[in-house]
Amino acid sequence: MKTIWFATGLAITSLAILPAARADDDAAWRKERPAVPPPVTPVLPAFEQATLPNGLTILVTHLDALPVVTFNLVSKGGATYDPKGKAGLTSLTYDLLEEGAGELDALAFSDAVADLGADFGAAADRDSAGVHMGGLSRNADAMMKLLADAVIRPRLEAPDFERTKAQTIATLLRRRGSPQGLAFEKIPALIYGATHPYGHAPTGTPDTVDALTLDDVKAQYAKIMGPKHSALVVAGDLSLADAQALAEKHFGAWAPEAAAPPAVPEVKAALRKTVTLVDKPGAAQTMMVVGRPLFARGHKDEYALTLANEVFGGTFSARLNMDLREAKGYTYGASSQAAFRTGAGVFIAYSALRADVTAPGLKETMAQLADMKKKPPTEQELAMARSGLIRSLPGQFETTGAVAGGAASLFIYGLPLDHFATLGARYEAVSLDAVRKAAATYLAPTTMQILLVGDRASTEKPVKALKLGRLVLE
Nearest to 407 by CA among 203, 164, 238: 238
Residue 112 has pLDDT above 60, yes or no: yes
What percent of the chain shows pLDDT beyond 90?
A: 90
In this structure, are strands 449-454 and 346-354 parallel, antiparallel, or unpaired? unpaired
Contacts of 198 (CB under 8 A, 6+ apart): 80, 126, 188, 192, 264, 341, 343, 344, 346
Phi, psi (degrees; rounded to nearest 5) at 468: -90, -5
b vs e for 422-444, b when ≥16 Cβ sit within 10 Å of the residue's Cβ?
ebbeebeebebebbbbbbeebbb
Residue 15 has pLDDT above 70, yes or no: no
Cα dihedral 172, 177, 178, 182, rounded to 10, equals: 50
| Rounded mean pLDDT, 333-356 | 97
pLDDT tens readout for residues 305-316: 999 999 999 999
> Model confidence at 23, in pLDDT bands (50, 70, 90)?
low
Residue 20 confidence (pLDDT) = 54
Residue 7 confidence (pLDDT) = 40
| Rounded mean pLDDT, 233-239 | 98
Q: What whole-number distance in Å separates Cα of residue 78 and Cα of residue 467?
A: 38
Residue 202 confidence (pLDDT) = 96
Residue 156 has pLDDT above 50, yes or no: yes
pLDDT tens readout for residues 248-291: 999 999 999 899 999 999 999 999 999 999 999 999 999 999 99
Q: Give me the sign of the Cα torsion angle 103, 109, 114, 117.
A: positive
Cα→Cα distances 373→271, 312, 366, 368, 444, Å = 17, 11, 12, 9, 8
Residue 2 confidence (pLDDT) = 39
10 Å Cβ neighbour count for 74? Answer: 25
> Model confidence at 66, in pLDDT bands (50, 70, 90)?
very high
Q: What whole-number distance in Å separates Cα of residue 231 and Cα of residue 249?
A: 15
b vs e for 19-51, b when ≥16 Cβ sit within 10 Å of the residue's Cβ?
eeeeeeeeeeeeeeeeeeeeeeebebbebbebe
> Model confidence at 335, in pLDDT bands (50, 70, 90)?
very high
pTM for this structure? Answer: 0.89
Residue 26 confidence (pLDDT) = 63
The average confidence (pLDDT) of the chain is 94
Residue 356 has pLDDT above 90, yes or no: yes
> Model confidence at 35, in pLDDT bands (50, 70, 90)?
confident
Contact 269, 292 (CB under 8 A): yes
Residue type, 170: A
> Model confidence at 50, in pLDDT bands (50, 70, 90)?
very high
Query: What's the CA angle centered on 305, arms 301 and 308, to 5 degrees?
Result: 145
10 Å Cβ neighbour count for 170? Answer: 11
Q: Give me the sign of the Cα torsion angle 138, 141, 146, 151.
A: positive
b vs e for 154-169, b when ≥16 Cβ sit within 10 Å of the residue's Cβ?
bbbeeebbeebbeebb
b vs e for 281-312, b when ≥16 Cβ sit within 10 Å of the residue's Cβ?
eebebbbbbbbbbbbbbeeebbbbbbbbbbbb
**Residue 442 DSSP symbol:** H
Q: Containing H/E element for 75?
A: strand 68-76
Q: What whole-number distance in Å separates Cα of residue 277 and Cα of residue 471?
A: 7
Q: What whole-number distance in Å separates Cα of residue 419 and Cα of residue 46?
A: 10
Residue 33 confidence (pLDDT) = 86
What percent of the chain shows pLDDT beyond 70?
A: 95
| Domains in the chain with CATH codes | 48-251 (3.30.830.10), 274-473 (3.30.830.10)
> Model confidence at 117, in pLDDT bands (50, 70, 90)?
very high
| Rounded mean pLDDT, 437-441 | 98
